[in-house]
Amino acid sequence: MAYETILIVDDEPAIVQVMADRLQREGFAIRTAGDGETALRALDQDPPDLLILDLMLPDIDGFQVLRRLRQNGHDLPVIVLTARDDDVDVIVGLEMGADDYMVKPFNPRELAARVRAALRRRAEALALAQRVQHLETQLADTSEASVVPPHGLHFDDDARRAWFAGQPLDLRPREYDLLHFLAHHPNQVIARAKLLDHVWGHQEYIDERTVDVHVHRLRQKLADIDPAADPIHTERGIGYRFEP
């Protein structure tokens, strides 16, 4: 019995059929769309659990679909497909809210593994959000409020929340894990591969460029609070170093 629904958006019927066949064997329910406008209507009418989105579509491109998807408040996992291993396309897609990407041609078994990993991360994030909401309710009911230090970084490991210069940081689960790990290893050069292993784990198909995109997001969020702050430093060709 299918337990989760996947919407595949691609205008190449043969590729769609390969993806659909493999994912149906994995137990997923499959819906398809051959262009961006059809996909957006399907997303609004009956949102799936995960979206597989080709970047090259016959009407509006995948970037526009992804932008409108996030603007409309949909936060489902998105795996983008690209016909070329282009750093710009990949980074732009990830920065616009994609969760993962694959380059055509791809291995259907790897696609299925990435789908499962993205859905697992989504389930973990939902469970975490529920726990945070529960903890916030408990904190609101207490008479004594926690005092957040006005300088530097402050972490609440139970609630998995972080503050910078006394202001709350709006972090995704992987962003929290990445910042937490860097901040707890100050003045050390941490290689991208080590960050991948610690934050994403060995079982997931994740490229090292994903680390760069997440660090870029963290820097933006820290700068939004204090434009003069830049505690995360790039060690070219190696990784990153956190200076408190």
CATH of 145-242, one of 1.25.40.10, 3.40.50.300, 3.30.2270.10, 1.10.10.10: 1.10.10.10
Euclidean distance between CA atoms 195 and 202, whole angstroms: 11
Say what the pLDDT of residue 97 is: 84
Q: What is the largest CA-CA distance in the chain?
A: 62
Q: Which candidate, 119, 116, 106, 89, places its Cα nearest to that of 15? A: 106
Euclidean distance between CA atoms 160 and 138, whole angstroms: 15
Euclidean distance between CA atoms 190 and 150, whole angstroms: 27
Say what the pLDDT of residue 75 is: 86
| Residue 201: how many other CB atoms lie within 10 Å | 10
Euclidean distance between CA atoms 222 and 231, whole angstroms: 9
Angle at 98 between CA 5 and CA 52, to 5 degrees: 35
Q: Which residue has the tokens 């593994």?
A: 113
DSSP-assigned letters across all residues of 12-74: -HHHHHHHHHHHHHTT-EEEEESSHHHHHHHHHHS--SEEEEES--SSS-HHHHHHHHHHTT-
The per-residue b/e assignment along 161-198, b for 16 or more CB within 10 angstroms, e otherwise, is bbbbbeeebebeebbbbbbbebbeeeeeebebeebbee
Q: Walk along the chain (244 residues) and give the pLDDT tens digit of each residue.
A: 447 999 999 999 999 999 999 999 999 999 999 999 999 999 999 999 999 999 999 999 999 999 999 888 888 999 999 876 666 777 788 888 888 889 888 899 999 999 999 998 888 877 777 777 766 666 555 434 445 555 688 998 888 899 998 889 999 888 999 999 999 999 999 999 899 888 887 655 677 888 888 999 999 999 999 988 889 999 988 999 999 8
Contact of 183 with 244, CB cutoff 8 Å:
yes
From-to residues of CATH 3.40.50.2300 in the chain? 5-120
Contact of 179 with 162, CB cutoff 8 Å:
yes
Name the superfamily (CATH) of residues 5-120: Response regulator (3.40.50.2300)
| Residue 31: how many other CB atoms lie within 10 Å | 15
Euclidean distance between CA atoms 55 and 232, whole angstroms: 31
Q: Which residue has the tokens 């995948």?
A: 62
From-to residues of CATH 1.10.10.10 in the chain? 145-242
Say what the pLDDT of residue 185 is: 93
160: left (phi over 0), alpha (psi -120 to 50) or beta: left
